[in-house]
Amino acid sequence: MDVTLYRQHVELARPIRASAQAHRWRTRLFLRLEHDGRLGYGEVAPQPAPLHGDPSVDEVVEALRRAATKLSEVVARTGELPQWSHVARLSAATSASNAAAALLEMAVLDRELRSMSCSIEALWRASYQTPRQVTFSLLDDEAEWHVERDVERVRVKTTPGQLNRRTLEKLDRLNVPILLDFNCSATSDNEVLHQVEQVDDVATISAVEQPYEVGDIADHARLASRLDVPLSLDEGVRTLRDLAQIAKNGAAEIVCVKPARVGGLGNARTMIAKADELGLRAYLGGFFESPYARRVHRALAHSCISEPSDLDDVALNEGSCEVDPIDSSFGLEPSSAMLTEAEVLSMA
């Protein structure tokens, strides 16, 4: 088994400012895995620094080295790679290990599908035309918003406080519902309720997302009982136990499931099914991945999600072609030109 890890640093064409950071640049990790002459690729796009329980790039790289060593030991013992759906079992119970497992799992899945000359759609048959969700920020007065006709929901980044006239005018021009995303920045119910009241005068609010910190079930449950719109949780959705606690306490109606956060595609499918069983509406979120991982995520969403999700490719300011077409598996692979320009990281 041979693995090569690449790191790519990209500048976003449309930066997004959230409560704790401005997303202007992003680091993407690509893993090339080859065994018995067959290869596969995986990708994750971690945060630059730890934030709200999510790991940094460096933490994910270190966790990947440990996970790759475990995978190599399995191959040495059995003579073959485990099935893609078993890769998550190599993960320790940390946020960095979950992202590392997601990276390995995608590469193993890609290799399996290529070996069988099979497409991802044959594995996950489409049951939905999952609607598109796009993201803008109320924290950037200068940026203009352009919402295409087939977008069904806009997530808007915000923090507590009085909204200015220009911001309210932007919201008034939207003709689709919004998800008001606080990214853990609220400190009281009244802060959230005040802003909801302001926004409700000019736009349709589909949900308020993650006002309080990760794990704060009690405060979210209390706020949910006071809101006239659904509450959504994002950073606080990591495990099946989280879903059970959210449903038991009435802490949200909507949950955002991110494959890199929950340990990969298999875990994401399991959590989406469990959310449905518990009466929670799940949508698929992302971390500014390239068109390669986004292609996989779209296939996943179309197989099991009806809620608007983060499925669009992320526009970059410049750079080489990010993907090349192939005949099977995901239909795409990270382009050789892009990987040639990327930094190769040691796996030792």
Query: What pTM did the predictor assign?
Result: 0.96
The kind and range of the H/E element at 14 are strand 2-17
Predicted confidence at residue 192, as pLDDT, reads 98
Task: Report, as ranges of residue numbers, the positions in the chain whose pLDDT lies below 50.
Answer: none
Predicted confidence at residue 208, as pLDDT, reads 98
Give the span between the Cα atoms of 319 and 317, in whole angstroms: 7
Predicted confidence at residue 39, as pLDDT, reads 96
Residue range(s) of every CATH 3.20.20.120 domain in the chain: 125-304
Predicted confidence at residue 108, as pLDDT, reads 98
pLDDT tens by residue, 19-64? 878 888 999 999 999 999 999 999 999 999 999 999 999 999 999 9
SS3 49: coil
pLDDT tens by residue, 96-135? 999 999 999 999 999 999 999 999 999 999 999 999 999 9
Fold (CATH) for 125-304: TIM Barrel (3.20.20)
CA separation, residue 305 to residues 123, 155, 188 (Å): 16, 17, 32
- Provide the 8-state DSSP code for 149: T
Predicted confidence at residue 317, as pLDDT, reads 84
The total of other beta-carbon atoms located within 10 Å of residue 310's CB is: 23
SS3 195: helix
Predicted confidence at residue 90, as pLDDT, reads 81
Predicted confidence at residue 91, as pLDDT, reads 79
Give the span between the Cα atoms of 340 and 326, in whole angstroms: 18
Contact 290, 114 (CB under 8 A): no
CATH of 2-121+318-345, one of 3.30.390.10, 3.40.50.720, 3.40.50.10320, 3.40.50.300: 3.30.390.10
Residue range(s) of every CATH 3.30.390.10 domain in the chain: 2-121+318-345
| Adjacency order of strands within the sheet including 178-181 | 132-137, 151-157, 178-181, 205-209, 231-233, 254-257, 281-284
Contact 141, 123 (CB under 8 A): no
